A and B are shown apart, each in its own frame.
Chain A
Amino acid sequence: MGAAYGQTSAILRGRAFAPLQSGGAAAQMRVSGATVEVLGEDGAILSACDRQVVRFDAPIGTAPRRVTLPDGTLFETADHQGVENAFGETTGSKIHKIERLHPRMVGFLLVGIAAVWVIWRYGLDILAAAALAITPPQVVDAIDTGTLQTVDLAIAEPTNSSAEQRAKANEVFSTLLDALDDDTRAAHDFQLEFRSMPGLGPNAVALPGGTVILTDEFMRLFPSEDIQAGVLAHEIGHVVEQHGLRQVYRSIGIAVFIALLAGDTVPIVEDIILEGNILLSLSFSRRSENEADSFGVDLAHRAGYDPAGLVMFFDWLQDEMGDSSSWLSTHPSSAERLERLQELIDAQ
């Protein structure tokens, strides 16, 4: 037995701190067989214990290794190799070896870039879809109710439209809903609301739960059923594709991921990364608009309306508003949209 212990005996030089004390002094750690002893310079035993119960801090870089005995005595040594020889691999030894500067880091970089692309392309959508699946419908309904209340409080007036105008829009809306398949229709609480919103102009807004708000200004300017169908079908598209909540989840995902990655950068760089985050969420918003366009054209066509209705609306919008730049906006430019829409319509 004695011989076996002898082979594992080792002496490490470093310094030792008594429990909870800042005063440390040069010391040795003697590992022999199952016993670990910390000796002062004069050879006195400061602390001792079984080798099974010493605690190791994970090694990092070339910073001193720290070994703590159960009584709180801390032994510190620069002798990384000595610790490994005496105790074998400890917690964190593996990651420490991986972290050593080595040409494989080029591979790390490439894998990292590839992984970011995969997360960006697929991961976020999967995460957002998973989050959508577990969102209770009550929450979504509450968001609709609450938002409508706020809209009424802040920017909307009761509708001034005539009964015929409303009946016509309701007719278009329910014809469109009838063209949806049963499951989709049942999954959302579709409702058409009428409001006067001079600030918003001729417009329609979809809330996540299925409430669609149509402005008086819209019905007055666009009595055409085809145009109404085009725009309402686009809004129904937002609801069915769950763009509102999806965007919320995506932007939480991106924000958290970036915060986790960029956590400790250097000043300025952090601010620039956060700015980039906003641009990324805008690009998703433009993608949503395009998806809702495709959905709307298809739905309007199936419901028996002229799919060019949405085009007429954007034609008007382009004449009225002029065109705006693209990467800074939430919506694609009208020209871009018209071109895409024309292709979609031609395909019908």
Chain B
Amino acid sequence: MAFQTSASQAAPFEFRGRTGEWFGIWITNLLLTIVTIGIYSAWAKVRAKKYFYQNTYVAGRNFDYHATGLQIFIGRLIFVGGLILFSLLSMIPIVGLILIIGLLFLIPMLLVRSIRFNAVMSSWSNVRFGFDGKAGGAFLAFLLYPFLTVFTLYLAWPFADRAQRRFVTNNHRLGKSPFAFDSNVGPFYTAFFAALGWVILMAIIFAVLGGGSIAVMFTDPQALEENPAAAASILFGFYAFIFIAFFPAATIYQAFIRNTIFNNSTLDGKHKFHSDVKPLQLVWIVISNAIVVIFTLGLMLPWAQIRLARYNAEHTQLLPGGSLDEFVGQIEAQAGALGDAYTDLEGVDVGLPI
């Protein structure tokens, strides 16, 4: 029962979830969500998050997730109501334009509220996380900077991404202890060019293998119209290219960035982190997961999720710079779940890469 508190020893992350156990929870979540036309999904989300958080340990202590299903449900209800209203009003062109401008202000607010909600509802070793970022910072990091990179043909994207990671990490706390992340932009460019390199490599391979039929598309479109099978195979080839080129590239990028963030972050100025996720191993896991899930019509999803969580945990460590018993929590102001509903339903992924 004694905690590991030695300052010098690395404390690995450890994921103790098991496929069979998670399968039972997952399928119950799925069934109840379907028969309640989605209403149970709020409670299902809490069950799922709790399962993964409570089974993730650092130095023998686990994380926990504290939101209630009702909170999430109310957030989602308000969000879906807003979404319907928005869809209707945006069909009126002039109003639609005003709404889009309104979104520029609304989205950063929702993002910040979402990150804050998730931070406040998460804990490690009995201490809740916190988040102090403001909407203005989120506007710069998530909307303005990414938009400006368009003018550099996205070549400045690593700068925008670094700004996002700084904003998210540096505004997080564990109780009263702040997280801090900084890094020069080099590792972000490494990730960027590694991902780009993969896409180019795949493009060359595809061009060599299927170059003929793509050339036909441009030189003799008439031939394709008369031969639907060839057109279909080009379409299939196009999807195969996305699958083989872009998804792995995104994974490679994520792996590099994850390592960079962990390896350059501190907690309370003294505790450090280490992540050594291998990009190509992660690509293998992500691709094989997707294939297995697709060919089992989703039934192996719990297995895939556990596998990914375990891999990530196995490649992450906390390097304590002092006692882990000295974190002190503070009473956090209540946070609404509306922002959380936004990031959930729009599939936006923000927050700490635990």
Contact = CB atoms under 8 A, between A and B. Distances in A.
Interface string B291-311: 001100011010011001000
Given A63-B62, A112-B34, A270-B347, 11 more contacts: A21-B325, A23-B323, A24-B125, A99-B28, A101-B23, A119-B34, A146-B95, A256-B80, A260-B76, A263-B345, A269-B294
Given A22-B325, A22-B328, A17 B125 contact: yes
Given A98-B28, A271-B247, A26 B2 contact: yes
A74 B286 contact: no
A116 interface: yes
Contact of B45 (A135, A149, A264): A264
Interface in B303-345: 304-305, 308, 323-331, 344-345
Contacts of A150: 93
A111 B35 CA distance: 9
A147 interface: yes
Interface string A13-35: 00101001111111000000000
Given A101-B20, A259-B344, A260-B41, A63 B88 contact: no
A245 to B, nearest CB: 8
Contacts of A20: 126-127, 175, 328-331
A95 interface: yes
B30 A261 contact: yes
Interface stretch (B50-58, B100-108, B140-148, B194-202): B50-58
19 contacts: A20-B329, A22-B325, A24-B61, A24-B325, A60-B51, A61-B17, A63-B62, A64-B54, A99-B24, A109-B27, A111-B31, A142-B92, A147-B91, A248-B91, A264-B45, A267-B250, A268-B243, A269-B294, A269-B304
Given A21-B127, A21-B328, A272 B294 contact: yes
B14 interface: no
Contacts of A155: none
A223 B306 CA distance: 66
Given A26-B1, A252-B84, A146 B94 contact: yes
Contacts, number: 204
A348 interface: no
A52 interface: no
Interface residues of A, number: 65
B294 A22 contact: no
Given A21-B126, A139-B88, A123 B55 contact: no
Interface in A94-135: 95, 98-102, 105, 108-109, 111-112, 115-116, 119, 123, 127, 131, 135
A252 B83 contact: yes
Contact of B27 (A105, A115, A269, A272): A105
Interface in A203-247: none
A322 B24 CA distance: 52
Contact of B3 (A24, A102, A116, A268): A24
A34 B345 CA distance: 45
Given A24-B61, A61-B25, A116 B34 contact: yes
For the complex of A and B, the 5 pairs showing the least CB-CB separation, nearest first, are: A23-B325, A22-B327, A20-B329, A63-B54, A17-B126
B21 A61 contact: yes
A256 B325 contact: no
A131 B84 contact: yes
Contact of A269 (B25, B45, B51, B293): B293
Contacts of A112: 27, 30-31, 34-35
Interface in A23-66: 23-26, 57-58, 60-64, 66
Contacts of B171: none
Contacts of B290: 266-269, 272
A266 B286 contact: yes
A108 B327 contact: no
Interface string B55-83: 10000011010000000000010001001
Contacts of A15: 1
Interface string B113-142: 000000000001111000000000000000
Contacts of B54: 60-61, 63-64
A267 B93 contact: no
Contacts of A60: 25, 47, 50-51, 54
B3 A267 contact: no
B92 A143 contact: yes
A325 interface: yes
Contacts of B264: none
A63 B55 contact: yes
Given A61-B17, A149-B93, A22 B27 contact: no
Nearest to B323: A23
A142 B96 CA distance: 12
Nearest to A14: B1
Interface in A271-305: 271-272, 274
B230 interface: no
Q: Which of B92, B289, B344 has the most CB of A within 10 A?
A: B92
Given A60-B47, A259-B345, A23 B326 contact: yes
B184 interface: no
B62 A108 contact: no
Contacts of B35: 111-112, 115
A105 B45 CA distance: 19
Contact of A143 (B28, B55, B91, B346): B91
Contacts of B217: none
Interface string A307-330: 000000000000000100100000
Nearest to B21: A61
A257 interface: yes
Nearest to B345: A259
B269 interface: no
B4 interface: no
A325 B228 contact: yes
A22 B37 contact: no
B287 interface: yes
A162 interface: no
A82 B274 CA distance: 38
B126 A74 contact: yes
B68 to A, nearest CB: 10
A55 B5 CA distance: 29
